[in-house]
Amino acid sequence: MPELPEVESARLVIELLALNRPIVSIEDVDEYVCRPHRTQDFRRALIGRSFTKASRRGKSLRLPTAGADGKECAALGLHLGMGGRIVVTDAGGNVISGGDSTDGLAGDHRADWDRFTARFADGRALRLVDKRRLGRAILDPDLSRLGPDALTVGLVQFRASLGASTVAIKARLLDQPVIAGVGNLIADEMLWRARVDPSCPTAQLTCEQVQALHRSMRSALGHAMKHGGSHAGHVIAARHADGRCPRCDAPMRYARLGGRATWSCSEEQC
DNA sequence: AACAATGTTCAGTC
DNA sequence: GGACTGAACATTGT
């Protein structure tokens, strides 16, 4: 479920299957999930236009549109929240792609979880499917408050962005204005890979530790994207009371950091 | 039945 | 004002 790897695969699905098709109708009945612009509703902003691009920053998606004349119009912002997925269906309502999720619902599609739908002239539809309703569809999303994207940020900028905060490094990594895209599972995975204590105050990390975190962030994200999602990490299987470190077999330790469940190796991450 | 859940935001405190 | 914390959000799964 949605951390950067899931959002990136959703972005690819859109890029592959939902670009450059005129939008003919919009379903936005869920007023909690769908939040139109103050001065413009989804229909007026999107119908008759086509998505021209699918871009991502952290866990946020942005789909700019253009009219038939090619003139740039409003952009659709999508966020998957805690359990959302992007699904594209064909004219018959069958899932074409987007079902490669991590919650055992692969390929299937429950219409009552559809929160936002854009239907195209050829019968295809782009849907935000979200059982928990914490996802969002908005117009002209403001992504400027997000930090640099976790997938592409370089070491220098990563270090600068972390800064000299007194906050535990785990909480800092989850802070989207600092680094965009790291979620709870990836954070635990990268900290474990780098053998860094999640509760260590950010400012107390050594130069080498920050570098190790930068490397492990990239490797954890790459591994997740290659193997189907954030659930594919090594540490996830050990996230329970009797869990053992996959590397050294020491018991895993539980803590609550940044408001989230945190699992780390009791031996290696001190 | 009570509680936790892979995310974000906002009110409140120091 | 800045840094930080915790609750709230809506729903499902255990």
Please choose, from the candidates A129, A128, A131, A134, the residue with its C-alpha nearest in 3D space to the C-alpha of residue A82: A134
**A122 CA – B10 C1', rounded, Å:** 42
> Which nucleotide is nearest to A172 if distance is taken from CA to C1'?
C4
> For strand C, which nucleotides have at least one atom less than 7 Å from a protein CB?
3-13
Distance from CA of residue A38 to its chain's centroid?
A: 25
**Integer Cα distance of A268 and A117 in angstroms:** 47
Residue type present at position A50: S
Check residue A38 and give its pLDDT. Answer: 85
Distance of A166 CA from C1 C1′ (whole Å): 17
Residue A52 CB-density burial (10 A; 0-12 exposed, 13-18 middle, 19+ buried): middle
Q: From CA A232, how far away is CA A135, in angstroms rounded?
A: 22
- List chain A residues with pLDDT less than 70: 99-108
Give A167's Cβ-side CA count (13 Å radius): 14
- 3-state secondary structure labels for all residues of A214-232: HHHHHHHHHHHHHCCCHHH
* Encoded amino acid at A128, one letter: L
pTM here is: 0.95
pLDDT of residue A99: 59
Assess whether A86 (CB) lies less than 7 A from strand C: no
Q: Distance between CA atoms of A135 and A68, rounded to whole angstroms?
A: 29
Q: Considering only CA atoms, which residue is closest to the C1' of nucleotide B4? A: A261
Q: Which are the contacts of A152, defined by CB distance < 8 A and separation ≥ 6? A: none
Instruction: Using the C1' atom of nucleotide C11, identify the protein residue whose alpha carbon is closest.
Output: A132
Distance A237 CA to B10 C1' (A): 33
- The reply to whether A241 has its C-beta less than 7 Å from any atom of strand C is no
Vertex A238 angle, CA A235 and A243, to 5°: 145
Amino acid A62: pLDDT: 98
Q: Which pLDDT value is given to residue A250?
A: 97
Protein CA at A123 to nucleotide C1' at B8, angstroms = 33
Proximity of residue A155 CB to strand C below 7 A? no
Distance A32 CA to C9 C1' (A): 10
A134 touches strand C (CB under 7 A): yes
Q: Measured in angstroms, what separates residue A155's CA from nucleotide C1's C1'?
A: 29
Q: Nearest-CA neighbor of A151 among A92, A105, A212, A219?
A: A219
The answer to whether A142 CB sits below 7 Å from nucleic acid chain B is: no
Q: Who's near A27: CB < 8 A, 6+ residues apart?
A: A114, A116, A117, A119
Which residues in chain A, range 192-221, keep a C-beta under 7 Å from any nucleic strand C atom? none
For residue A108, the model assigns a pLDDT of 62
